[in-house]
Amino acid sequence: MKSFYKIKNGIIVILILCLSFLGYQYSDKTAQLQNIYSTLNSNAKLKSCFFNQRKIAFMKKGGEYLPDYEKPRTLNDKVVYYLENYFLRSPITKIIGTKYFAKVYISDTVGSEYVVRLFGVWDNPEDIDFDKLPNSFVLKTVRGNYGREVIIVRNKNKLNINETVKKMRDICKSTPGMIDIKDKRIIAEELLEPESETLVDYKFFCSFVKPFLAYCLDMKKNSDVDIDQKTFSFYSIPDWKRFAIIAGRHEVNNIPKPKHLNKMLELCGKLSKNFPLIRIDLYEIGDRVLVGEITEDASGGKNIIDPVIWDFKFGEGIPILSKEEIQTLIEKDKIIAEKYLGNVF
C-alpha cells in the first residue's frame, strides 16, 4: 500500500525534469539526462506530467504521487478535474469568482445578512468617494490574487488618499485576471475585526449540497494583508475532530468547533446546491456568520497533504461527472448567468 502512494522513482525523474525545465544545466550528466528522457518517452504518465504546468507545480511542492486529471481519485486531482472540465468553461465562474457579483449572488441565494457589508463599488481608483466611507474599511479588486491585492484601512484620518489611489491603480494594472475588467472592478467592504487576537477563516469543501470537509486558517488580527496566515488544519464535520495532517509547510492549529457550525453547514448546503465540487469560506464574528467567498480553484489542486493517504481518502466521496453531465450543468449555468452578466459571457 505504501509503495502504491509513493512512486519514488517517478518523483525523482519528475523533480530532475522540473529542474531541467527551469533552466538548470547538467552538462556533466549527459548520460543521466539521456536515461531520464528515455524513461520519459516510454512512460505516458511521466510524459504528460512533464508537459502539464499544474502537475509540475504539484510535484515541485512535494507531491508524492503522479497527478491524474483524466481518472482522478484524490481531492487535489478532482479539484483540477472540475476546474478544467467545468469551471473554466462555465459562465458561473465569472459570477462566483468576481467579488462584486459574488456578493450579489450570495445575497440572492442565502440572504444579505450573511454577506460582508459592501460600502461601494467603482470602475476606477480615481472614482472612489473616500468621504462616504467609514473610518475603517478594506479596498480590494474584484479579482484578487490569493488575498494580496487589498488595502486595509484602520483609521481613515491617517490615510494618504493620493498614495492609496496610486497603489490601487497599480494593483488594477498588475493583478492577474484584472486586465480585462473595466466595470465594477474595485470594492470597499467592511473590515472584519474579531474579538480574539486572530481571525479564523473556516473553509468547507462541498459537493451538491453536502459539506464533507473543513479546514481552518488562523490569521493575525492586525495584519496589513488578509493572507497573513498563522496555522492550517483539517477538521471532520459535523463532529469537528482535527485530522492528524500537516498541510504544506504550515503549522497546525486546534480551532474549537464554531458555535454557529450548524448555520455554517446550512449556508454551505444552499450555496453548493449546483456544484459537484466547490469550497465555501466563512467567518464567525460574534453572533454573525458571514460568507467570505465561493471558490472553484482550491489552491489550484496543489495542497500537499501529509500523510498523502488522506488526499486519496478525502477524494473518495466526490462524484466524477461525465463530460455530458458537465455540459448539462453548463447549460443551466448560462441561464443563471444571464441574470448577473446579461447574455454576453
The pLDDT of residue 18: 56
pTM beyond cutoff 0.75 = yes
Q: Which fold has domain 117-189?
A: Dna Ligase; domain 1 (3.30.1490)
- Residue whose C-alpha is closest to residue 282's, from 170, 206, 197, 168: 206
- Write down the pLDDT at residue 5: 47
Residue 164's pLDDT is: 95
At position 143, the amino acid (one-letter code) is: R
Domains of the chain by residue range: 2-67, 69-114+197-345, 117-189
Which contacts qualify for 325-334: CB closer than 8 Å, 24 or more apart? Answer: 326/85, 326/86, 326/89, 326/276, 329/86, 329/90, 329/274, 329/276, 330/86, 330/89, 330/90, 332/274, 333/90, 333/91, 333/92, 333/274, 334/91
Architecture in CATH of 69-114+197-345: 2-Layer Sandwich (3.30)
| Residue 63, pLDDT score | 85
Report the sign of the C-alpha dihedral through residues 55, 56, 61, 63, in that order. Answer: positive
Calpha distance 278→204 (Å, rounded): 8
Report helix, strand or coil for 212.
strand
> pLDDT tens string for the chain (345 positions)?
444 444 544 555 555 555 555 444 434 444 544 555 455 555 665 666 667 888 888 888 888 888 999 999 999 999 999 999 999 999 999 999 889 999 999 999 999 999 999 999 998 899 999 999 999 999 998 887 656 678 999 999 999 999 999 999 888 887 766 766 767 889 999 998 877 777 899 999 999 999 999 999 887 655 555 545 568 899 999 999 999 988 877 788 889 999 999 999 999 999 999 999 999 999 999 899 999 999 998 878 888 898 999 999 999 989 999 999 999 999 999 999 999 888 655
